[in-house]
A and B are shown apart, each in its own frame.
Chain A
Amino acid sequence: MKSKKTALAQGFIRCHDCGCLSKLSDNLNVCTLCGGRLHPRLPHSLQRTVALLLSASFLYIPANIFPIMTYTKLGVGEPHTIIGGIISLINGDMVPIAMLVLVASILVPMLKLLGISLLLLNVHYRWQTHPKKWTMLYRVIAFVGRWSMLDIFMISILVALVDLGGVATVIAGTAATAFAAVVVLTMFAAKNFDPRLIWDKQR
């Protein structure tokens, strides 16, 4: 009986912030050590994750369609989408950097959107197999999420740097906002998903 082993099943609540246990029977609202709010599991974990995930996946479309930045040199400029930027890096014989950008700004957001959906399906339909592997998937998603910010930071530097009036300018595009929102929303989605739900469903 695996489910008997959880702290909750034995009448304890773990504080999310400091990790100390409180007795369920004490009916405490806040942790006695750190004052954080006590919940047996993250409140409305699945609903919040679904909501954030849906918003992120809708924003993923404008993030990839619209130009993320425009580089103008001597009055001649062309807008670049995320993929366009990668292609121009490949054309400029900078394949390793192109791969880095490809991973950070295309593969990681896709992995996150897909992976979190799978985790939600797993919990919802109570797939009973390989809880350890599912937890690993959760960890990878939670770890990897921040690295998508790479593109945003790169734009921030380019915007500061390439600002030479008529000679050369970089202007950030609308997709930057959408892409930043995708990154933040998927990070919040991963944060709101409670991995203990994977284990709770074990029989």
Chain B
Amino acid sequence: MNNIDFTACPECDLLLKPTAPVVGDKAHCPRCGYLLHRPRKQSIERTFALSIAGLILIFPAYFMPIVGIIVLGKSKDGTLWTGVINLFAEHLWGVAVLVFLSSILFPLLNIIFSLLISVHLYFKKPNRYLALWMRWLQHIDEWAMLEIYTLGIIVACVKISSLAELKFGLGLYAFIALLIVTGMLASSLDKVLFWRQIGQLKPEKSNVNGADK
């Protein structure tokens, strides 16, 4: 690690002295008001636990029926997965890929990366891919859109409620639980703390850098 004991605001580049984080406090940038750091209680442990919970919930949420309709005696169930498949079948490949990425692949990767990183940090095991995973996690974060999918489900249900009879499946409960878990996961993952820990778990590399200087 380098020995610079300053930080900078990511949105206005103001040079700042880092303060000692206290749980419950929020550190805002004095110039632009950006939320710099919000320390979380037991961030690593909670991320670990919640990502396991997410991993358990994610497959029933994907593959079990979320809602079903009954029209004139015929019934049909819809899952996250069949939504993507049907879009593919209708040759809307762009939309299908986008829905697949934002509602299936990225939420899954989000949970997997959170699990991998928090396991390594919890057991204090260095891994050369830690920083890479953390960077990917940050890039993926914005593109995992389960909460928006939930709104989509609500609007879709309202739209067809007048045309067909609706029934809710087990997948819906798994999906709602998954939504809550991923929400808690996002808020318990303290990025500043994680990066600091990743930096501390990287002794070999800092020696190499020190030798270079």
Contacts and interface: CB of A to CB of B under 8 A. Distances in A.
A154 B134 contact: no
B21 interface: no
Contacts of A34: 131-132, 134-135, 195, 198
A186 B102 CA distance: 16
Given A8-B13, A19-B195, A157 B1 contact: no
21 contacts: A5-B14, A5-B31, A7-B14, A10-B15, A17-B138, A20-B4, A23-B2, A35-B131, A35-B132, A132-B33, A147-B151, A149-B102, A152-B99, A152-B152, A154-B152, A159-B87, A160-B86, A162-B76, A163-B86, A172-B95, A196-B10
Given A152-B99, A160-B79, A195 B195 contact: no
A167 B156 contact: no
A184 interface: yes
A196 B12 CA distance: 4
Given A19-B195, A156-B152, A161 B67 contact: yes
A159 B2 contact: no
Contacts of A39: none
Interface of B: 1-2, 4, 6-8, 10-15, 31-34, 66-69, 71-72, 74, 76-79, 82-87, 90, 92, 94-95, 98-99, 102-103, 131-132, 134-135, 138, 142-143, 145, 148-149, 151-156, 158-160, 162-164, 191-192, 195, 198-199, 202, 205-206, 209
A150 interface: yes
B12 A167 contact: no
Given A10-B15, A32-B206, A160-B86, 15 more contacts: A7-B6, A12-B8, A18-B134, A19-B191, A19-B192, A94-B159, A132-B31, A135-B12, A146-B145, A146-B148, A154-B152, A156-B99, A157-B66, A162-B160, A177-B92
A19 B10 contact: yes
B155 to A, nearest CB: 5
A167 B94 contact: no
A159 to B, nearest CB: 5
Interface of A: 5-8, 10, 12, 14, 16-23, 32-36, 73, 85, 89, 92, 94, 97, 100-101, 104, 131-132, 135-136, 138-139, 146-147, 149-164, 167-168, 171-172, 176-177, 180-181, 184, 187, 191, 195-196, 198-200
Contact of A180 (B4, B95, B198): B95
A161 B32 contact: no
Contact of A157 (B12, B78, B206): B78
Nearest to A132: B32
A171 B2 CA distance: 56
B11 A196 contact: yes
B8 A160 contact: no
A20 B2 contact: yes
Contact of A172 (B87, B131, B156, B202): B87
Contacts of A153: 99, 103, 145, 148-149, 151-153
A100 B156 CA distance: 12
A94 B158 contact: yes
B86 to A, nearest CB: 5
Contacts of B68: 161
Contacts of A21: 2, 4, 6-8
